[in-house]
Amino acid sequence: MKVIVAFLLVLVSILAVPAVSRAQPAGTSAVETFSDPALEARARNLQRQLRCLVCQGESVDESGSPFAADVRHLVRQQIAAGQSDQQIEDFLVARYGAFILMKPPLQSNTWLLWLAPFLVLGLGGAVAGLAIKKAASREG
Amino acid sequence: MIGELGQLSLCFALALALVMAVSGLMGAQAAGSIARKVATSSAMGLLVFVALAFGVLTYAFVVSDFSVLLVADHSHTLKPLVYKISGVWGNHEGSMLLWVLVLSLYAAMVAGLQRGGARLTSAALGVQGLLAAAFLLFILLTSNPFLRLDPAPFEGGGLNPLLQDPGLAMHPPMLYAGYVGLSAAFSYAAAALLVGEAGWTRAARPFMLIAWIALTCGIALGSWWAYYVLGWGGFWGWDPVENASLMPWLIATALLHSALATEKSGAFSTWTLLLAIAGFSLSLIGTFLVRSGVLTSVHTFASDPTRGFFIMVLIALAIGGALALFAWRAPSLQGGAAFAPVSRESALLLNNVFLVASCACVFVGTLYPLVLDALDGTKISVGPPYYALTFAPIFFALLLLVPFGPRLGWKRGDLKAAWRSLYPALGVAAVAALVVLAIVSPRGLAATGAFAVAGWLIGASLIDVRKRQGARASAFAAALAHAGLGITLMGVAGTTAWRSEALTVLAPGQTMTVGPYTLRFDGVTREKGPNYVADRAHIALMNDDRAQTMLLPEHRFYPAEGQDMNDTAIRTTGLRDLYLALGDDRGGGRYALRAYVSPLAPLIWLGGLVMALGGFLSLWGRLRVKEPEAQPAAPAVALAAE
């Protein structure tokens, strides 16, 4: 019980900082934002899924490069024009190639990429199961 | 003159490495006692000459000897001394020399400590000598750091400003201590195959631990550096270069656990050998990925195909040779321990399955795009969303199982008893989840789950520490390392779920708010650093209309290199970071400003530190135990193996 109480105290002291809220749209002219929080959230989410092609390992959302600014502008233009997320991604892929997507598409030449970790997990699990069975039979 | 001294040292070092390789392998025979002595002394000599070469290069950097091409290309008289020194490894040639220095250091430790039987140690030195010779050859043939430049220029080209940072000055030596430390485990494994000695894990364990600690610290340091330098508050981008360091860590972690079982009961002896080979192979592949220019990033100093080719051949020989040796000799080593399905052994095996699958995930994610591009020219990128869907669930499942391991007995464990002893931890997990749901907004399933698992891990570790007072250091070590995982998890989850940010353009005197903070922009001044000029923003952290603290993020320009860099300002309470980065000049004294509040961010690195501390404790426990005291355990191991 002491453990729980101690942990509770620590956790409360950590989390009792004033509850923070999500990013406030800056509302200044030079930084593009939607006044509608739902649209803004969609834009931010999309921006996070897109790779800045001129940076290393940064998304369009994070990067300060002019390229990223252009893509952010495009995303917002398309959202304003009523396009769906999928349509916007397709548009950007047509324009810049699939490399721009942080999340590789599932298609004929990427299924192995998506499946490999779980294949290894399954295969490893099976081998481990056999090893354990063998060890158990030795014990018995 | 001094440069030639370095060159000469490298040639001597190569000769000694070859002597060490030959004599070490000869010493693996029973009758090779003289060869064993030669191998030991040549290991010491190797260290002396590589250290001399490294010292010479460092001296050339410190005195800015621009008649050395490498110094002229990568240094500058105006650089602060620290960065002149770190500039030694801030380039391809120097970093390879550092690599060999660390390799020689481990060889000397293997020779000096003489852990394990004389034949085993000798064979390990032989393998280590082969590796040293190969890398020295690589340096002398393709990456000579001592090439001359005539006439010498008056000023050097400078160092990439991104690398002029205390965190990154320390990052490569730390990471190399880990990467190359796995070479000792590799050499011992190969030696065990050659000599046929099953007790190698005991001899190699301190080296595995040192390597693991260094990798843990190196990765944490790299992540911290990315956090405060890159200017957007991210701590891990699944960048191929980061992945290259994570893969050996995952395998080294698996190795530490598997070797434990091998040492205790002779279980998984062949599997442990394979892991030792795989760990160092991934270090080599990481080096290849980073150094060959296959990936282009901050870390890639060389884009020279001959080097890439040379490293590739080297890797193929090392990995291929080790695997061939394994295929040839491993069947004769079969231990075949007996244990019940519910036992510590099974738990460790399960741990390995999950760690290897996590590593496979990172491996595939890193290399698949390269292979696909080479095969049919399709360019895809594998970013964080991929890892969130593959790595995260696998690693999460592993974390759920972690607390059971230390509670199951060797040979035969009691799952019910383990479960019962974990009730308090379950309580902690539930409380953590409830606290997150009740107090913090926004609520999220991922954050709640992550905090529950963190509570589960930390709670279980606390019980361990409480229940096993007076127990061996290793139990505390495991508890610490596992708690560290929980702490890091809290940091990652907290930052990801509750980070708030503000992106604003401000004129002097204007204020902005981010999270609970109000900030006032007091304008930008022009400052002069030792080798840069900076636009320094003065930002007051307000407390009821009074400036409480000043934060000074900078935008630096390095004229020698012609490059810009951000210097962020971070104010931390230890549990929450306020993070500021200065953006572009928007004219009329107005500047763009990025501000983030990252709750619990410091816990990410604190957790890494706690894990490393666990490693240290385990190492200390190991080295404190004198060999004679440890002897009684050895027959037990042998018996168990039969």
- Residue B129 to residues B52, B113, B256, B512: CA-CA distances in angstroms? 18, 16, 24, 60
On chain B, the residues whose CB falls within 8 A of the CB of A127 are 353
The yes-or-no verdict on residue A29 having pLDDT over 80 is: no
Chain B within 8 Å of A66 (Cβ-Cβ)?
no
On chain A, the residues whose CB falls within 8 A of the CB of B361 are 116-117, 120
CB count within 10 Å of CB B271 equals: 22
Q: What's this model's pTM, rounded to 2 decimal places?
A: 0.90
Phi, psi values for residue B521, rounded to 5°: -85, 120
- In this prediction, residue A24 has a pLDDT band, given cuts at 50, 70 and 90, of very low
* Interatomic CA distance for residues A103 and A106, integer angstroms: 9
Instruction: Work out whether the CA dihedral A34, A39, A40, A43 comes out positive or negative.
Output: negative
Task: Give me the residues of chain B with pLDDT under 70, please.
Answer: 1, 292-305, 334-335, 468-471, 625-642
Comparing C-alpha atoms, which of A59, A69, A67, A63 is closest to residue A31? A69
Give me the residue from B424, B504, B575 closest to A14, CB to CB.
Answer: B575
Assess contact for B119 and B195: CB atoms under 8 A: yes
Residue spans of the domains in chain B: they are: 1-164, 167-324+341-383, 500-601
On chain A, the residues whose CB falls within 8 A of the CB of B593 are none
* Interatomic CA distance for residues B265 and B590, integer angstroms: 68
Chain B within 8 Å of A133 (Cβ-Cβ)?
yes
On chain B, the residues whose CB falls within 8 A of the CB of A57 are 237-239, 242, 297
Residues forming beta bridges with residue B590, ordered by sequence position: B587
* Interatomic CA distance for residues B69 and B506, integer angstroms: 46
CB A132 to CB B341 under 8 A?
yes
Comparing C-alpha atoms, which of B83, B108, B138 is closest to residue B24? B108
On chain B, the residues whose CB falls within 8 A of the CB of A23 are 500-503
Q: Which residue of B has its CA nearest to A56?
A: B297
Half-sphere exposure at residue B573, Cβ-oriented, CA atoms within 13 angstroms = 12
For domain A22-105, give the CATH superfamily. Cytochrome C biogenesis protein (1.10.8.640)
Chain B: nearest CA to A73, how far in angstroms?
A: 15
Residues 6+ positions from A109 with CB-CB distance below 8 Å = B372, B376, B378
Instruction: Work out whether the CA dihedral B544, B545, B550, B554 comes out positive or negative.
Output: positive
pLDDT of residue A107: 87
Rounded to 5 degrees, what angle do the CA atoms B2, B7, B10 make? 130
Rounded to 5 degrees, what angle do the CA atoms B498, B501, B503 make? 165
Q: Which residue of A has its CA nearest to B596?
A: A23
- Residue B294 to residues B82, B98, B290, B373, B528: CA-CA distances in angstroms? 30, 21, 7, 12, 37
On chain B, the residues whose CB falls within 8 A of the CB of A121 are 353-354, 357, 360, 394
The two tokens of residue B298 are: 């901050």
pLDDT of residue B476: 87
Across the A/B interface, how many CB contacts are shorter than 8 Å?
220
CB B515 to CB A21 under 8 A?
yes
Chain B: nearest CA to A34, how far in angstroms?
A: 13
CB A124 to CB B357 under 8 A?
yes
Pairing type for strands B517-528 and B511-514 reads: antiparallel
Chain B within 8 Å of A94 (Cβ-Cβ)?
no
pLDDT of residue B246: 95
CATH code, B500-601: 2.60.98
Task: State the amino acid at position B78 in one-letter form.
Answer: L
Residue spans of the domains in chain A: they are: 22-105, 106-140
Residues 6+ positions from B562 with CB-CB distance below 8 Å = none
pLDDT of residue B472: 74
- In this prediction, residue A34 has a pLDDT band, given cuts at 50, 70 and 90, of confident
CB count within 10 Å of CB A87 equals: 12
Q: Which residue of B has its CA nearest to A61?
A: B232
- In this prediction, residue A1 has a pLDDT band, given cuts at 50, 70 and 90, of low
Residues 6+ positions from B479 with CB-CB distance below 8 Å = B406, B461, B462, B464, B465, B614
* Interatomic CA distance for residues A59 and B579, integer angstroms: 19
On chain B, the residues whose CB falls within 8 A of the CB of A131 are 268, 349
Q: How many residues does chain B have?
A: 642
Give per-residue pLDDT as tens, B247-298. Answer: 999 999 999 999 999 988 888 888 999 999 999 999 998 887 777 666 654 4
Pairing type for strands B554-558 and B546-551 reads: unpaired
Q: Quick one: average pLDDT of A15-21?
A: 40
CB count within 10 Å of CB B112 equals: 12
Is residue A21 exposed (0-12), middle (13-18) or buried (19+ Cβ within 10 Å)?
middle
Spell out the long-range contacts of B432-437 with Cβ–Cβ below 8 A and sequence spacing 24 or more. B432/A7, B432/A11, B435/A8, B435/A11, B435/A12, B435/A15, B436/A15
Which residues of B290-347 form beta strands (DSSP E)? Answer: none
Q: Which helix (H) or strand (E) holds B82?
A: helix B81-86
Comparing C-alpha atoms, which of B499, B339, B342, B479 is closest to residue B408? B342
Rounded to 5 degrees, what angle do the CA atoms A8, A14, A18 make? 120
Question: For every residue of A47-70, which 3-state class applies, written as one string?
Answer: HHCEECCCCCCCECCCCCCHHHHH
Give per-residue pLDDT as tens, A78-111. Answer: 999 989 999 999 999 999 888 899 998 888 888 9
CB B503 to CB A49 under 8 A?
no
Question: For every residue of B242-267, which 3-state class applies, written as one string?
Answer: HHHHHHHHHHHHHHHHHHHHHHHHCC
Q: Which residue of A has its CA nearest to B388?
A: A103
Pairing type for strands B569-572 and B576-587 reads: antiparallel
Give me the residue from A15, A26, A131 closest to B503, CB to CB.
Answer: A26
Chain B: nearest CA to A38, how far in angstroms?
A: 15
ipTM of the complex: 0.86
Chain B: nearest CA to A44, how far in angstroms?
A: 12
Give me the residue from A6, A26, A128 closest to B353, CB to CB.
Answer: A128
Assess contact for B342 and B408: CB atoms under 8 A: yes
Residues 102 to 121 of A: which have CB under 8 A from any B CB?
A: 102-105, 109-110, 112-114, 116-118, 120-121
* Interatomic CA distance for residues B142 and B305, integer angstroms: 10
CB A113 to CB B368 under 8 A?
yes
CB B502 to CB A24 under 8 A?
yes
CB B237 to CB A109 under 8 A?
no
Half-sphere exposure at residue B150, Cβ-oriented, CA atoms within 13 angstroms = 3
On chain A, the residues whose CB falls within 8 A of the CB of B455 are 7, 11
- Residue B473 to residues B212, B280, B460, B622: CA-CA distances in angstroms? 17, 27, 17, 9
Q: What is the DSSP letter of B64?
A: T
On chain A, the residues whose CB falls within 8 A of the CB of B364 are 112-113, 116-117
CB A7 to CB B455 under 8 A?
yes
CB count within 10 Å of CB B598 equals: 27
Residues 6+ positions from A10 with CB-CB distance below 8 Å = none
pLDDT of residue B637: 36
CB B455 to CB A139 under 8 A?
no
On chain B, the residues whose CB falls within 8 A of the CB of A16 are 439
Residues 6+ positions from A136 with CB-CB distance below 8 Å = B338, B339, B340, B341
The two tokens of residue B292 are: 């060959």
Q: Which residue of A has its CA nearest to B298?
A: A56
On chain A, the residues whose CB falls within 8 A of the CB of B505 are 26, 28-31
* Interatomic CA distance for residues B419 and A30, integer angstroms: 57
The two tokens of residue B166 are: 């205390």
Give per-residue pLDDT as tens, B329-352. Answer: 888 776 678 898 999 999 999 999
On chain B, the residues whose CB falls within 8 A of the CB of A99 are 379-381
* Interatomic CA distance for residues B385 and A89, integer angstroms: 15
Assess contact for B135 and B21: CB atoms under 8 A: no
Q: How many residues does chain A have?
A: 140
On chain A, the residues whose CB falls within 8 A of the CB of B237 are 57-58
Write out the DSSP string of B460-472: HHHHHHHHTTT--
pLDDT of residue A8: 59
Chain B within 8 Å of A15 (Cβ-Cβ)?
yes
* Interatomic CA distance for residues B353 and B45, integer angstroms: 41
- Helices vs. strands in chain B: H and E counts, helices first: 21, 10
Give me the residue from A1, A31, A112 closest to B504, CB to CB.
Answer: A31
pLDDT of residue B293: 62
